[in-house]
Structure 1
Amino acid sequence: MSAEDQDDNPPEGFTLSTSRGPYTTHNGPFYHRVTEDGFRHGVRVKSRHCNSRGITHGGMLMAFADGLLGTAVFRETKTIALTIRMNSDFLSSARPGEWLEGTARVTRATRSVAFCEAELFVGERPVLKATGVFKLMGRHKVPDGEPSAS
């Protein structure tokens, strides 16, 4: 059975993410889990996520990390934000069938920008580290009482 045909089989506690935009939905399916100390997103790597060498494409890893960074910013600031800059360090690879997950956190936020960092891993193996700067779109702040994105 190919990695494309396998059940995603997410780890316990992960739920299918259903509120993603069209680009992210097309590249998933992605899963999420909220914990006491933050959140995690995950995806079962499929061959469609890979380059010609059979490892996860760098663009896929960066898009996944960008989503993590954006989620962290929204959860912290309750404001929709746009990526200004993102830097990525590729540390290892992920292969079809492996569970890739990640988390992110805001390190500093002002009224107009947020600084954050993310890490992706397979098990204990680090795959990518990223940092980002996001422009906070103040007119898109979520009113108090509405739930945060996971």
Structure 2
Amino acid sequence: MQDTQIDSVPEGYKPLPDGLGFTDNLSPCYRRLQGEELNFGLLVDKQHANSMGICHGGALMTLADIAAASWANMARGIVAGAPTVNLSMDFISAAKQGQWIEAQLEGVSLKRLFGFSRGVIVNSKGVVARFNATFYFPDHPGMSQDGVINAGVLKDLQG
């Protein structure tokens, strides 16, 4: 049985804007917001792959971090920076170059100063990885290292 690879971006996904710092390393990375459902995905390309031609664990963790932070902020209804306190991932199977992978929400829990998100990264064959993340909600609306509010960049992330 030959592997079936999805080699196009699914309908409704739009590229993330450039200028998002480290997130630009996943470029092109995509997002789709449908009602209350927010997903992130990418076509595994050579810049995402390791020497074995499969998606690098660091690329998977970056995708998970972006998705999980976005879900936590979306649940609290605030567009702001949310530093990652913890991100754990179980790598289940490989995602090969040319395959579409996407992060899907399984749940979000909010506390006063912290958000907890969990989800999976899937491809056409099933679960590639599962992850849990914890985010700190600072009491400012997303400050850059130079103290300037990043409202424009954060607004771009929300759509």
TM bracket (short chain): 0.7 to 0.9
CA distance in 2 between counterparts of 1:132 and 1:10 reads 26
Aligned-residue RMSD, C-alpha: 2.2
**Contact 1:72–1:105 (8 Å) recurs in 2:** no
**Residues 35 and 20 of structure 1, relative CA distance in 2, 3 Å threshold:** farther
CA distance in 2 between counterparts of 1:31 and 1:20 reads 14
Residue 134 of structure 1 aligns to a residue in which SS? strand
Counterpart position of 1:17:
16
1:20 Cα offset (Å): 5.5
Alignment of 1:1-150 (within 5 A): 9-18=8-17, 21-77=20-76, 78=78, 79-104=80-105, 106-140=107-141, 149=158
**Contact 1:76–1:106 (8 Å) recurs in 2:** no
Residue 53 of structure 2 aligns to a residue in which SS? coil
1:9 Cα offset (Å): 3.2
Equivalent residues, number: 140
**Contact 1:75–1:148 (8 Å) recurs in 2:** no
Counterpart position of 2:148:
none
TM-score if structure 2 supplies the norm length?
Answer: 0.78
